[in-house]
Amino acid sequence: MTVPGRRERKEVQRLISIACIAAVSLPGVAPTGAGEALGSARGEAGRAYHVSPAGSDDNPGTVARPLLTIQKALDMARPGDQIHVAAGVYREQVVVKRSGEPGRPLVLQGERGPVGEWLTVIDPGVPVGGWEPAPEVGPGVFKTKAVGFNPSMLTLDGRHIGKLDDRIMAGTRRVEWGPGETGFGLLALPADAKFDHGGGRWDYWDRLRAIYAYRDGITYIRFRDGDDPSPYKLKASSGAAGITIADKSYVVVRDLRVQGALDAVLITGSKSRCNTVERCSLSHGKSRVCIQNGAADNLVRDNLMTWGFYGSDSFGAQTPGAEGAGRFFTYRIFHSSNLSGFDWGIQVWDAGPSNEITGNCILYGLSGIMCLRTSGLKFHRNVLSNLSNVALILSTGGVGNHYYDNFIDDCNMGVRIHNYNAPGPRQVFLSRNLFLNPDDSGTHVFMHSLPNILRSAEEHPEVWIYHNSFAGGANVITPGGPAIRESGGMRRTHVINNVVSVRSWWSTTLAFDQIADADYNWVGGESSGHPAWLRKHNTIARGERLWEPGVRSSFRLPAGSHAQGTGIDLSKPFQIGEQAYPPLPGMKPGYFTGEAPDPGAIQAGRTHPALELAEAWTRLLVSVSPETGAAR
């Protein structure tokens, strides 16, 4: 049983169109499957171990006599050793037992196919059978006791089926929208069930296709049309990660497809340092990569990450009306209440400093990255597309986090500054990012606030938004909640050298009138006017757009544009109003030509690394499914 990929095919064409803009190809970049990833750890060679589905764990792990399991190879490996895992599916959840050393990493590497597809698959899912009707719940609902545990994951055809929250099934929590049903009632809803929301009606099952649940030792499933699940190859797995690196260092994970686990790759512990996850295809669960509990100096690059949801491929920004409301509420609220139902491409929480995430393509899901109580994170040169919640969730705690040179396309929120007024230091830099949404769909930057917490101006988070390009969407900045207004606005938020080619510069839902600095921006739009805190060096172009909303563009300023050369040099100390500031991160001398920089993410005569990255990923996605990692 498969799910039609209408949105998937449409998005591949969209990426192809975007990629055609890039003038520079990237030979040897990870998605092509050719060559060694740039900067990969190399050093003194150790022993090579080989793993194959045709092997035996009694073998020595040679080419002629390979091992059967990845775990056995990891148990045997020492610093400098390489583990080569042949094509096949490995029903394991593996744990790295030893660290590598500087210059002698421990390498775990899979096999890629001729068009770059992933041939080595780690999938801990076990087959699920013993299904029988559950008429006590409702028509079309089936149940089984054969699983033997509360499954955190249930997959079909390489897709993740959404799970009803255990609390809803237990009756201790109710859905806060729609009919207010509890778990068994939601399983039994008829195939034509509709809910009223967002000014219209939307189909409950249209985007779900199937849901499953667990209570008192019984696993339940319901397909929209009441299909008997017995003929289907359903697989269940527990809450462990596909690959766990706990307090281990200098480990390289490369060219693997990991699916069917709560976390595809988990890097945890303060002794987990200098590990690399590269050129992998990662799907399902609550996160593709999770870095936590003090893990530092780790590198996540050149990976393909998707939620792989079993249902509609219609992710993306919330469009006006019932269709958009259905997409948003189905994915973000209904199926985000369980950890296995919520979705992050990457989680970084309570991690150590200097983790780096670059070159990844994060598609088709709820959220791209969530950063919590972590400092010194570099998140750059990534493509994030078709996410129906948030591309970048920047939560409480942490200083010196820099998000730059990313392409954020068709996401309901581009950036969410979460718990804006929470206590504690916070410092965020957002620069040279490209934001693209269909018109009237989603917001680019959302400032979330906690209720009833007022903070003085010097306690506000320090947020720098500079040299970004925004096109389409409903608005650029949406401050959420009265606490921001009652605290005097966003007193340490600086918005400088951006291009705002959007219908509305800011949301009219909150009429605050103070912000630290908003200057040297090109500001188009027409529907809601412009706030008083826009300073005198902004170019106010009422009713104008530089780029068509929702349509790929070069994000370059048009030839002869009055916006050219209207920015301020951020590579040296600068002053806005009466306030002087030091140079900003990423702004090196010579980053522009002429007397002054252009506003926006791309300077005259320059390219943008995220558009170049889109070209490289497109070469792969033409031939490889982003949902399954297999050849098309």
* Domain map (residue ranges) of the chain: 126-237, 455-550+558-607
pLDDT at position 590: 96
Q: How many CB atoms lie within 10 A of CB 574?
A: 17
DSSP string over 447-470? E---TT----GGGS-EEEEES-EE
- Is domain 126-237 given the CATH code 2.60.40 in the classification? yes
Q: What is the pLDDT of residue 21?
A: 36
Cβ contacts of 125 within 8 Å, gap of 6 or more: 91, 153, 155, 235, 236, 237, 260
pLDDT, averaged in runs of 10, over the chain (632 residues): 35 45 36 37 74 99 99 98 98 98 98 98 97 97 97 90 85 63 85 72 79 95 96 94 99 98 97 99 95 99 93 72 55 47 88 98 93 98 92 95 97 92 92 93 88 80 96 85 74 93 68 74 73 77 82 83 96 94 98 96 94 89 92 94
Q: For tokens 């606005």, what's the residue?
A: 489
Structure token digits, residue 341: 């139902």
Annotate 139-153 with b (16+ C-beta within 10 A) or e (fewer): ebbbbbeebeeebbb
d(CA 237, CA 235): 7
Whether the Cβ atoms of residue 111 and residue 87 lie closer than 8 Å to each other: yes
CA 491 to CA 460: how far, in whole Å?
7
Q: How far apart are CA 187 and CA 184, in angstroms?
A: 5
| pLDDT at position 284 | 92
pTM flag (> 0.95): no
Distance CA 139, CA 226 (A): 7
End-to-end CA distance of the chain: 16
pLDDT, residue 340, reads 45
**pLDDT computed for residue 318 by the predictor:** 75
Q: ∠ CA(382), CA(387), CA(389), 5° rounding? A: 120
Residue 400, both tokens: 């010196």
Residues 6+ apart with CB under 8 A from 342: 286, 335, 336, 366, 367
Strand partners, 369: 346, 392
pLDDT of residue 328: 54
For the chain, give the longest Cα–Cα distance: 75
Give the tens place of pLDDT for each residue, 344-369.
999 999 999 999 999 999 998 889 99
Q: Say what the pLDDT of residue 167 is.
A: 81
Q: What is the pLDDT of residue 333?
A: 44
Q: How far is CA 632 from CA 117, 577, 619, 621, in A?
A: 9, 56, 13, 9
